[in-house]
Structure formats: C-alpha cells, structure tokens
Amino acid sequence: MIDRAEIEERQSRARELAERAGYDALLVIGRSFYDRPGDLAYLTNHFPPFPTTVFTEAHRGLGHGILILPVRGEPVLITDPRKHRADLVAIDDVRATSDLMALAIAVLRDKDLASGSIGVVGDDILPAPMDRDLRRELTQATITPEPDLLARMREIKSPAEQDAMRGAAAIADVALTAAIASVRRAGSTEREACAEGSMAAMAAGADFVRYLRVHSGPWAASSSRWPQATDRQIQRGDLIVLDAIGAVEGYQFDVNRSLPCGPTDAERLQLLETVLEASLAAVGACVAGNRVGDVVTAARTVIDKSPFANAFGGMMGHGIGLETVETPLLTATNETELKPGMVLCVEPGLFVPNWGGALIEHEVIVHESGPAEVITTTPARLW
C-alpha cells in the first residue's frame, strides 16, 4: 500500500534527523508483525515473522529484525532465517541469520561504525541478551536509546498512510457489524460472536484479527484483554463491550463499541449515553493546535458531572498506525500538540465492577483546519 519511493524518503529524513542528533548510524529493531514491527516496517516495509522464540545457543532473536541505517552509506536489513518479502521490502542489502545481533555487530564493524555514535530505535523491545552482546562487543561505540526520533516522524501520517488507515477502519466495521448481529441474538455466546466477527474481517481483507474482544454482563466491567471471549451465554439486558483489533496491509485498526442485548434498565442506558457523550466531546477536541490533554479534559468534563465520575477507565486512547498503540498516548498530563496527519484512537470508557461497563472508540484523522475526520463508520449509538 505504501510505495518504495515513500519508504526511501522516510529513510532520507531519518538520516537527516540522526545526523542532527549527533549519531553516525541508527540501529532500528522491530518485533513480529503481530506485535511491534512499527519502527522497522516504517523504514523498510519488512514485517518480522511471527512468533518470536526463546533464545538458544544457535538461535538468537527469531521473530525480530534489525536495520542498520548509517548516516552515510547503504542500509542493511537483517532478518531471521524465515527471511522476507523481497517484492515488498525497500532495502537492497538484506541478510538472513539465526543470530541477528552477531550479524548486526559484524555489519557495524564492516561500515567502520564500531567506535561511532549509534542511536538504538526500539530499545524498549530489544531483547536483553542482544543488548548485552552489542555492548560487550562494541566497547568503543557510544550506544544510546533513541525513543523519539522515529516516533515523531511516525505520528504524522502521509496521505497514503491516511488512506491505509481508512481502509483498515472499514474492515473493523465489517468485523463489528457481524459481531453486533451475533450478540443481539439472546442465547448466543461470546465465543460465537468473536468467531463471526473475526471470520467476516478475514474474508473482507484483514491481514489478521489479533483479537475481537467480546465481554458481556458483569465481565463487561473488566478492561482485561484476556480471554478475548468465553463460553458465557449472552442474556437479554446485558451490556456488551466489543473491541476489534487487527491490520490491513500492515496498518492497524482498533475500534470499540458497546451495546445492550435487547432492552436494558435505565441506569445502564444512562451509562451508555454518558460514554457516547464523552466520546463525542473528546472527538470534538481533536483539532490541530489543541493539546492531547485537551481531548482528555473534554471527555472528563462530561464524565465528572455524571453519576459515573468514579468509574472512569484510565488512559483515554492513543495514536495508531503500523502498531495498534503508538504515540501520543491520550493522558491528562500529555502536552503534545495535535498536528495535521495524526491518527488517534479516542476511547473514553466507564466500568462499574460486577455490574457493567461501556466504551465507545472512534478513530480520527486530525486535519489542518476544521474538525477531525472520523474514519470509523460503525454506528456509535447501538441502543
């Protein structure tokens, strides 16, 4: 979905930013396409294979990938022995190995970077054995975690990426529509709804459905992600929380919806209406120039005047793109300025233990002027 020219332009910008930051090279790590491929995929269009595996003497780093991106010189992509999609990857020099960091160290030496300044992008997912190997072997290098350089680039989606996000959101709607039809049938189980929604998304073009969470009745009050669905039979009057997460051509979708199974009581309807109002208020605050904290404040203003002020679920959302959860995280203290091209998941939720919960999530694109574009098409009021 993203052409080679755009990926190569990302590499050029990353080099420029790396040089300005004082680095001689970036070492970029990614983990399994099902998990945390974002930084690596952004610069290479390589999605490391699933699953990651235990480390042995012979196999160290399976399920990961490493890009060596020198400020000057050609990049090298290192994959595990399951290799890569040569028709998609935008790197000419691709090497496969069963010990990824050993080869990365050899490449850094070959490129006279063994005593240089190396910024590690993805330090938070770099396995400890690989980090120890890097630091033990390159004692003359300055090795620095670099959490911001690529994250700031990835926050602003290009027009092609925005189209990719719209396409992914459309598949989320397919999944949720099928799951909604299932849970509205009293007597169906959470597992049946999960299966119907997941199958519909795959048939419509999803790369995968990481999970389709179906939590009903008292279980709807839990924000736990495991298990995604049980054999619990859905009862009339239950509140149900649905959460569809997956990807289409590498770009992610993450959409929540909540609804009752048939008629429900006035208190649960009030919970749903409060969450809907808070969600719409938060989306309305997703305007270029506002701060992330303004989005949270808009939702909290609604929630705090309701009977459910003490039931707020915590973090209110996040960026989304090549990974489900990207920066910025939507928290009250986040002063990040909203900029055109940001794609956000906005998801205020309320959860009353052992009684019920609700969460309504919109994916939005921030534009240069005017309101954000809501790219999720599943109706928000399902009662």
Q: Is 33 helix (H, G, I), strand (E, B) or coil?
A: coil
Average pLDDT, the chain: 96
Report residue 260: phi and psi, to 5°.
-90, 155
pLDDT computed for residue 224 by the predictor: 77
Report residue 175: phi and psi, to 5°.
-60, -45
The C-alpha atoms of residue 97 and residue 119 are separated, in whole angstroms, by 22
Give the tens place of pLDDT for each residue, 214-252.
Answer: 999 998 998 777 899 999 999 999 999 999 999 999 999
Share of the chain above pLDDT 90, in %: 95
pLDDT computed for residue 226 by the predictor: 87
- Whether 280 shows a pLDDT value over 90: the answer reads yes
For the residues 36-58, what does the mean pLDDT come to? 97
Task: Render the burial of 22-35: b for 16+ CB within 10 Å, e for the rest.
Answer: ebbbbbbbbbbbbb
pLDDT computed for residue 336 by the predictor: 97
Q: 159-374 maps to which CATH number?
A: 3.90.230.10
The full set of domain ranges for the chain reads 4-154, 159-374
Share of the chain above pLDDT 70, in %: 100
HEC per residue, 107-133: HHHHCCCCCCEEEEECHHHCCHHHHHH
pLDDT computed for residue 314 by the predictor: 78
Nearest to 30 by CA among 66, 78, 75: 66
Confidence of residue 1 (pLDDT cuts 50, 70, 90): confident
Indicate the DSSP class of residue 233. B
Same CATH fold assignment for domains 4-154 and 159-374: no
**Torsion of Cα atoms, 220 then 221 then 227 then 228, to 10°:** 40
CATH classification for the domain delimited by 4-154, as one of 3.40.350.10, 3.40.50.300, 3.30.1330.60, 3.40.50.880: 3.40.350.10
What does R_g of the chain's alpha carbons equal in angstroms? 22
pLDDT computed for residue 95 by the predictor: 97
pTM: 0.95
pLDDT computed for residue 351 by the predictor: 94
Give the tens place of pLDDT for each residue, 67-108.
Answer: 999 999 999 999 999 989 999 999 999 999 999 999 999 999
Angle between helices 292-304 and 266-284 (to 10 degrees): 150
For the residues 130-148, what does the mean pLDDT come to? 98
pLDDT computed for residue 287 by the predictor: 98
pLDDT computed for residue 315 by the predictor: 84
3-state percent breakdown (helix, strand, coil) of the chain, nearest 5: 35, 25, 40
Give the tens place of pLDDT for each residue, 307-353.
Answer: 999 999 878 999 999 999 999 999 999 999 999 999 999 999 999 99
